[in-house]
Copies of this chain bind each other. A is one copy, B any other.
Amino acid sequence: MSEVRLKDALDTLKDSGVRITPQRHAILEYLISSESHPTADDIYKALESDFPNMSVATVYNNLRVFLNAGLIKELTYGDASSRFDFVTHDHYHIICDDCGTIVDFHHPGLEEVEHLASHVTGFKVNSHRLEVYGTCPICASRVATTN
């Protein structure tokens, strides 16, 4: 399953003339296997043991390569670091205000909002972004017991 996704991703890259290096392979693999929407630094640290000489710049460079190829999405929140999410099927994110955990949830696309926005503003719409914020069950129970 995830092997298929990795293979597809590597094929997509090769097809657009991007060379597959060990670093790229590893970063992609980590992105696909990770459930945690990692930051660039997360990836860097996770691959440190396998690639002791890899530079942070390589992580950033290749994340941008993957972004351009449409393989991943960048998630940005407030002042924190960007997180990266391997693109699979459409989903939105819910983010814990306390601990920053990101959980996926599925919901039909908000086409009617896009249409309304386009109609009212005259913009040609490309995409939208929706995030829900709240408190995750773990943080909720921690707060409950702390009080």
Contact = CB atoms under 8 A, between A and B. Distances in A.
Given A77-B76, A123-B96, A133 B128 contact: yes
Interface in A54-94: 74, 76-79, 82, 92, 94
A34 to B, nearest CB: 18
Given A77-B76, A82-B79, A105-B117, A132 B137 contact: no
A126 B135 CA distance: 7
Contacts of A129: 129-133
Contacts of A132: 113-114, 117-118, 123, 125, 127-129
Given A76-B79, A129-B130, A130-B130, A121 B103 contact: yes
A129 B94 CA distance: 10
A129 B93 CA distance: 10
B76 A103 contact: no
19 contacts: A76-B76, A76-B77, A76-B78, A92-B113, A113-B132, A114-B132, A121-B136, A122-B137, A123-B134, A123-B135, A123-B140, A124-B134, A124-B135, A125-B132, A125-B133, A127-B133, A128-B132, A129-B130, A130-B131
